[in-house]
Structure 1
Amino acid sequence: MNICKNFKFLRLTGCCMRNFADIRPEQKPTYTLEKLAHRELIRVHGPEVLPFLQGLVTNDVSHLQRPDGPSSIYAMFLNKGGRVLYDTIVYRTESPDTYLLECDREASEEFRRHLRTFRVRRKIDVDSIDDEYVPWVLFNTEKCGEQVGEKLQRNKEWELFISSDPRLPTLGTRILAPTDFNGLLRAKEMIVTPPSSERNYQLLRYKQGVGEGSEELPPGKCFPLEANADFLNGVSFNKGCYVGQELTARIHHSGVIRKRYMPIRLTAPLGANQTVQSIAGANLGRVFGHAHNHGVALLRIEQVLNGHQELVVDGERCFAERPDWWPSDLPSKRRQAFTD
């Protein structure tokens, strides 16, 4: 009888041990850390820097000066006709007289020239700090929008400025680091890896339908609301005047926005022809960036999303998607524009 009980005990013990073996510690999430080689930081400094920037960008820079305000904002510089010239992320610093502006590296020289043109008699210094700091991005495609700043252990060797992307939580966390930063981060509760062909910042943006830089947002070719600046927290309709403000406000209040940037999925490598067409041959938009069968295109909203059109680019099928970060219920005026 004792033997039977012992055997029963052994069987129960075996089951418990097997169940115990199935319990593993929760795996740490994997984040990608990528140096943004195509972006550059510009320092704008001076006692009148706030009114200077307020008169040039679409967003309200004064939010950065509030004690409880954000550490960065997304904004655009427009020409007098209200079309986009440059996209930027504006970062606050410890000095209220100094801001850092992130811009496209290829357009950096023209961007600085544009800023200096509007200085007039203001004491404003505009210079590149490319030899001091460079931007990085840290993101996780599975844990979109998770705040990771508190998980990064501060290393006294590096002075890092950490800020969530002001456009979309999905786009990760911006890190401004010294130029000699080697990309090694000490982090709690996560694993940090370098980018790969399947997991990188460009592909992340394309899947969200977010254009960036002079190639994807060609200067003078689109309006800020077509580039989703209103949905990406990049425009203020309550601040004072700025270059291009009149037409931007008029488009916003009329609600007539017929084209927007959207993510597209390609079925074949894209050739020289980047015009998106219907099967019947009508032009519906243009692709401005693509990689690994994903891209970003400026497309006609009504025909593409509500008309159930079969889309073709360079002779091959492609599919446009409505970004999940777009408002689910658009204002009635804009809804009316879709049916014009």
Structure 2
Amino acid sequence: MNKQEILNCLFSNWYHLFRRHTIKSFLRKFSEKNTENVKFAKLNHRAVVQLGGKDTIEHLQGLVTNDVTLLPSSKCMYAMMLNTQGRIDHNLILHWNDGEVLIDCDESRADIFMKLLKRYKLRKKVEILERNDLNIWQSWNESCSNVMPDVKHHVCANPDPRVKLMGWRVVSCDQPCDDVMMTSSKDYHIWRYKVGVPETDIDLPPGKSLPLESNLDFMHGINFHKGCYLGQELTARTHHTGVVRKRLIPVEILEGKVPEPGTSLRSENNKSAGRLRGVVGGKHGLALIKLDYEGQILTTSGGTKLKGQRPLWWHNEGRSYSDGA
């Protein structure tokens, strides 16, 4: 090997060593930077109901909008339980946990939800109980939606099945992480309103809200190919007609006092445009708006001005959507 070949070999080895070191250093700094921005909030407005027994999947399959037979492989899914008229009764996140299903539901209506589960159980082999020892936590990062939190203490931890921008959903007895920024549930509500995700009974009034107007289809919460389930008829008919004229979209208050939930909204030409569902932080909210008026300045009778904008992860012409990645 001559002198030039030796120099080329040394340069090549040095270059690849430097390149590997640079990439590792970049990835480490990127990870550290984004981990620093991870927020964790305990969601006291959510409760955990556990279902176990050999007929658990069959029982849930006839009650909720999603295909529960896929839960053992997907580990986590979004779904709703409708009433017999096809309107939303309960919005749920289902977690698979070693043969049992942990259902993340609204805390204020957990007793009602459990009564419904027991009413429709009939002779199925299913055990239903509320897990007061478990809590629901949310982890998110506004600058990077897919960062995996360093969860040390948990029963289940999965990417939020609704929208990737929402981060991670965690079921845990204790605080799941020791070295992250713990924040309030108010910060969580502000973030989900910015993203455009409904969750509470204010956003989804029980017995009044329709699942497709509430974006259940865009948030991976319904399977149109599964068998029959409670309240299916109206939802299936609406889906097959392809016409959904109103949807829940995030709104921002531009000026004026914060309106009450349920306040009517008027368009720029003074036509009925929809209704406000809720506001958090004095600025961000959700409203059920006719899609013809999306993007316009809307007003209330009290003079408050708002603007609604469809989320970036949302659909294109009502037919497709992205997942916020």
| TM-score of the alignment, normalized to the shorter chain, above 0.5 | yes
Secondary structure of the equivalent of 1:239? coil
Counterpart-to-counterpart distance in 2, 1:52 and 1:139: 32
Q: TM-score, normalised by structure 2?
A: 0.82
Counterpart-to-counterpart distance in 2, 1:176 and 1:208: 22
Secondary structure of the equivalent of 1:80? coil
Question: Per-residue deviation at 1:316?
Answer: 1.2
Aligned to 1:294: 284
Rate the CA distance shift 1:153–1:162 in 2: closer, same or farther, 3 A: closer
Question: Per-residue deviation at 1:39?
Answer: 0.4
Rate the CA distance shift 1:310–1:153 in 2: closer, same or farther, 3 A: closer
Rate the CA distance shift 1:330–1:288 in 2: closer, same or farther, 3 A: closer
Counterpart-to-counterpart distance in 2, 1:284 and 1:126: 42
Contact 1:86 1:213 in 2 (8 A): no
Contact 2:194 2:250 in 1 (8 A): yes
Pick from 122, 133, 136 the counterpart of residue 124 of structure 2: 122
Aligned to 2:304: 316
Comparing 199-208 with 277-286, greater Cα deviation is found at 277-286
Question: Per-residue deviation at 1:330?
Answer: 3.1
Contact 1:79 1:85 in 2 (8 A): yes
Secondary structure of the equivalent of 1:263? strand
Pick from 204, 216, 225 the counterpart of residue 203 of structure 2: 216
Pick from 31, 55, 63 the counterpart of residue 62 of structure 2: 55
Question: Per-residue deviation at 1:159?
Answer: 4.0
Pick from 160, 171, 178 the counterpart of residue 185 of structure 1: 178
Which residue identity lines up with residue 211 of structure 2 in the other structure? Answer: P
Aligned to 1:42: 49
Q: TM-score, normalised by structure 1?
A: 0.79
Secondary structure of the equivalent of 2:47? strand
String of CA shifts for 1:299-334, please: whole Å, max 9, x gaps: 1112x12xx6430134111100011111224349xx
Aligned to 1:325: 313
Contact 1:211 1:296 in 2 (8 A): yes
Which residue identity lines up with residue 148 of structure 2 in the other structure? Answer: V
Question: Per-residue deviation at 1:56?
Answer: 0.4
Contact 1:147 1:164 in 2 (8 A): no
Counterpart-to-counterpart distance in 1, 2:259 and 2:218: 31
Question: Per-residue deviation at 1:52?
Answer: 0.6
Contact 1:43 1:100 in 2 (8 A): yes
Secondary structure of the equivalent of 1:201? helix
Which residue identity lines up with residue 308 of structure 2 in the other structure? Answer: A
Contact 1:50 1:62 in 2 (8 A): yes
Name stretches of at least 5 consecutive residues in structure 2 with no aligned partner. Answer: 1-25, 321-325
Counterpart-to-counterpart distance in 2, 1:55 and 1:221: 21
Secondary structure of the equivalent of 2:89? strand
Aligned to 1:138: 139
| Structure with greater Cα Rg | 1
Counterpart-to-counterpart distance in 2, 1:213 and 1:264: 16
Which residue identity lines up with residue 280 of structure 2 in the other structure? Answer: A
Which residue identity lines up with residue 264 of structure 2 in the other structure? Answer: T
Q: Point out 4+ residue stretches in structure 1 off by more than 4 angstroms.
A: none
Q: How many residues align?
A: 286
Contact 1:107 1:214 in 2 (8 A): no
Which residue identity lines up with residue 213 of structure 2 in the other structure? Answer: E
Secondary structure of the equivalent of 1:287? strand
Secondary structure of the equivalent of 1:270? coil
- How large is the RMSD of aligned CA atoms in angstroms? 2.1
User: Any residues of structure 2 matched to 1:1-340 within 5 Å, and which?
Assistant: 28-29=33-34, 30-65=37-72, 69-95=73-99, 98-130=100-132, 132-144=133-145, 146-149=146-149, 152=150, 154=152, 158-178=153-173, 181-182=174-175, 184-186=177-179, 192-195=180-183, 200-267=187-254, 268-272=256-260, 274-292=263-281, 293-302=283-292, 304-305=293-294, 309-313=296-300, 314-331=302-319
- Counting aligned pairs with the same residue, the percent is 34
Which residue identity lines up with residue 100 of structure 1 in the other structure? Answer: L
Contact 1:137 1:174 in 2 (8 A): yes
Name stretches of at least 5 consecutive residues in structure 1 with no aligned partner. Answer: 1-22, 187-191, 333-340
Aligned to 1:10: none
Which residue identity lines up with residue 136 of structure 1 in the other structure? Answer: W
Which residue identity lines up with residue 125 of structure 2 in the other structure? Answer: K
Aligned to 1:14: none
String of CA shifts for 1:240-281, please: whole Å, max 9, x gaps: 110111211111010111111000001233133722112444
String of CA shifts for 1:131-188, please: whole Å, max 9, x gaps: x2111011011112x1405xx264xxx344211100001111011111xx145435xx
